[in-house]
């Protein structure tokens, strides 16, 4: 299944290459396109593909709800024993799907692609490096490339993912949490041919905040630990100043140092408040129970 947002120029080529790769498998398959509120004519291309190929199913959202909501919708409709996800921009070569399925041996529930030579900007790769490490720690499953969406999931894992009611879930992390065993295989990665990445800096930041607070209490616990350490340091400093006063006499200078220290702690407090806000916000979204997305059209 393929989530897409404004990818009209790639779709015909993608469908062609996907069909070739899937036909070669000699297994029953379906291709689900989830149109995440595109406005560039992707819908017309998808309708044409659906008419010409009965294996193509299309789900369209009424507006943009994000890539992971789209993947969710695709998984909800998928009927196969194995679900493969990939991007629509041809950065994930469909020709890698057979290898992905080969790696899905007994006992492995999820196979992830690992983009060995990534064709993205260095800033993006650096950010991913951090995110992969943090996500591995938070989820408790070490993976080299959580961001790669060329993945294969077995039915039980898909069902587990679908049973999660939470908002804005990060699918690869959810899957890693449920899988008995996850395997990663190196795969090819191409540069984007049409348009630019749909993830700007702000969107990436939001996704990663969601990821952190949606999967663990680690950030807030970390702040608590820092709080304890700072309090202990403050206590030690107080004792030191008291002794100094007795032995050397009172001190007067160092006002600006004090300011620097103050700013540091004020910053920490604001951070802690923000983090609490983040969790409260999540609770709020959760109790509101708004639907994840609204479907405006289904072709099958």
- In the list Mg ion, ligand UDP, none, the entry touching 172 (Cβ below 5 to 8 angstroms by class) is none
Three-class DSSP category at 60:
strand
- Contact residues for ligand UDP, defined by CB under 6 A: 3-5, 7, 36, 64, 66-67, 70, 87-89, 91, 197-199
Cβ of residue 151: shortest distance to ligand UDP, in angstroms? Answer: 13
The CA–CA distances, whole Å, from 129 to 110, 123, 183 equal 21, 10, 19
Cβ of residue 92: shortest distance to Mg ion, in angstroms? Answer: 8
Cβ of residue 4: shortest distance to ligand UDP, in angstroms? Answer: 4
Find, among 244, 110, 236, the residue nearest to 175 by Cα: 110
Three-class DSSP category at 84:
strand
Cβ of residue 91: shortest distance to Mg ion, in angstroms? Answer: 4
Between 36 and 210, name the residue whose CB sits nearer to ligand UDP.
36
- In the list ligand UDP, Mg ion, none, the entry touching 3 (Cβ below 5 to 8 angstroms by class) is ligand UDP
CA pair distance 281, 276, nearest whole angstrom = 8
Between 89 and 96, name the residue whose CB sits nearer to Mg ion.
89
- Contact residues for Mg ion, defined by CB under 5 A: 87, 89, 91
SS3 sequence of 93-116: CHHHHHHHHHCCCCCCCEEEEEEC
Cβ of residue 32: shortest distance to ligand UDP, in angstroms? Answer: 13
Cβ of residue 102: shortest distance to ligand UDP, in angstroms? Answer: 24
Residue in the block written with tokens 């049409």: 194
Question: How many other CB atoms sit within 10 Å of the CB of residue 202?
Answer: 8
Between 190 and 258, name the residue whose CB sits nearer to ligand UDP.
190
Between 73 and 157, name the residue whose CB sits nearer to ligand UDP.
73
- In the list Mg ion, ligand UDP, none, the entry touching 219 (Cβ below 5 to 8 angstroms by class) is none
Between 72 and 275, name the residue whose CB sits nearer to ligand UDP.
72
Cβ of residue 69: shortest distance to ligand UDP, in angstroms? Answer: 8
CA pair distance 132, 153, nearest whole angstrom = 19
Three-class DSSP category at 257:
helix
Between 36 and 89, name the residue whose CB sits nearer to Mg ion.
89
HSE-up of residue 260 (Cα within 13 Å, Cβ side) = 4
- In the list ligand UDP, Mg ion, none, the entry touching 36 (Cβ below 5 to 8 angstroms by class) is ligand UDP
Between 195 and 227, name the residue whose CB sits nearer to ligand UDP.
195
Find, among 100, 71, 81, the residue nearest to 157 by Cα: 81
Helix boundaries (H) for the chain:
8-23, 42-52, 67-77, 97-102, 122-139, 155-162, 171-178, 201-215, 218-247, 255-288
Helix-helix angle 155-162:67-77, to 10 degrees: 120
What is the DSSP code (8-state) at residue 3?
E
Cβ of residue 225: shortest distance to ligand UDP, in angstroms? Answer: 33
**297, β-bridge pairs:** 60
- In the list Mg ion, ligand UDP, none, the entry touching 184 (Cβ below 5 to 8 angstroms by class) is none
- In the list ligand UDP, Mg ion, none, the entry touching 64 (Cβ below 5 to 8 angstroms by class) is ligand UDP
Between 44 and 81, name the residue whose CB sits nearer to ligand UDP.
44
């Amino acid at each position: 299944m393929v989530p897409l947002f404004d990818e009209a120029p790639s779709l015909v080529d993608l469908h062609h290459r996907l069909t070739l790769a899937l036909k070669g498998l000699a297994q029953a398959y379906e291709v689900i396109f989830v149109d995440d509120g595109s406005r560039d004519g992707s819908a017309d291309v998808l309708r044409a593909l659906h008419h010409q190929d009965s294996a193509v199913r299309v789900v369209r959202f009424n507006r943009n709800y994000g890539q992971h909501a789209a993947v969710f919708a695709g998984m909800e409709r998928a009927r196969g024993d194995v679900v493969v996800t990939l991007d629509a921009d041809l950065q994930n070569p469909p020709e890698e799907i057979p290898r992905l399925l080969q790696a899905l041996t007994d006992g492995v529930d999820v196979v992830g692609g690992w983009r060995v030579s990534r064709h993205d900007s260095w800033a993006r790769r650096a950010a991913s490096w951090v995110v992969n490490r943090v996500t591995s720690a938070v989820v408790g499953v070490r993976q080299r490339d959580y961001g790669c969406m060329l993945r294969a999931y077995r039915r039980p894992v898909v069902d587990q993912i679908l049973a999660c009611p939470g908002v804005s879930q990060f699918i690869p992390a959810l899957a890693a949490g449920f899988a008995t065993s996850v395997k990663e295989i190196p795969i090819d990665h191409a540069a984007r041919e049409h348009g630019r990445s749909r993830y700007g800096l702000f969107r990436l930041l939001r996704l990663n905040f969601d990821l952190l607070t949606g999967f663990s209490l680690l950030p807030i616990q970390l702040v608590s630990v820092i709080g304890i350490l700072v309090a202990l340091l403050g206590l030690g400093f107080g004792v030191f100043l008291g002794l100094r006063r007795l032995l050397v006499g009172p001190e007067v200078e160092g006002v600006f140092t004090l300011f620097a220290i103050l700013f540091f702690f004020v910053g920490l407090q604001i951070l802690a408040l923000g983090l609490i806000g983040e969790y409260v916000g999540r609770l709020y979204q959760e109790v509101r129970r708004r639907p994840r997305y609204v479907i405006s059209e289904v072709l099958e």
